[in-house]
Amino acid sequence: MKHFMIRYQFANGSSEEWHREIRRFIAALDNDSELKGKISYRCLKNRDDSSYCHLASAADDQAVKTLQQRDFFKHYTEKTRQVAGGEVVVTPIELIAETAAS
């Protein structure tokens, strides 16, 4: 598995519209026959400020390559840059331990 953390401060636009955009992106992931079950994506927001953290996991390099070819991914990546005012940090992360899936 490949894991990534995406962080930024929300700086532009409507947070309600941004949250709808995030839900559309996740729905596109869930509805893509080649990516379903191969990409896990979660978005979190700090309750006390405008910082966001997205956690993404891909089954393998091929899932990442397939995702990067999708128009919905390109659109979402550009929208993320826009709402963040261009300041987006993507960090590859390593999973050390986790609870059992429920």
Q: Could you tell me the CA-to-CA distances from 63 to 15, 29, 42, 83 in Å, in that order?
A: 29, 11, 17, 26
Among 16, 2, 1, 26, smallest CA distance to 76 is for 26
pLDDT tens-digit map of 70-100: 999 999 999 999 999 989 999 999 999 989 8
Residue reference for tokens 């996991």: 57
CATH number of the domain at 28, please.
Answer: 3.30.70.100
36: domain range? Answer: 2-93
- Give pLDDT, residue 82: 97
**For residue 99, is it within any domain?**
no
Q: How many domains, in total, are found in the chain?
A: 1
Whether 51 maps to a domain, the answer reads: yes
> Is residue 102 very low, low, confident or very high in pLDDT (cuts 50, 70, 90)?
low
Task: Kindly state whether residue 20 falls inside one of the protein's structural domains.
Answer: yes
Say if 12 falls within a structural domain. yes
Does 22 fall in a domain? yes
10 within domain boundaries: yes
> How do residues 34-72 score in pLDDT, each as one tens digit?
999 999 999 999 999 999 999 999 999 999 999 999 999
Within a domain: 24: yes
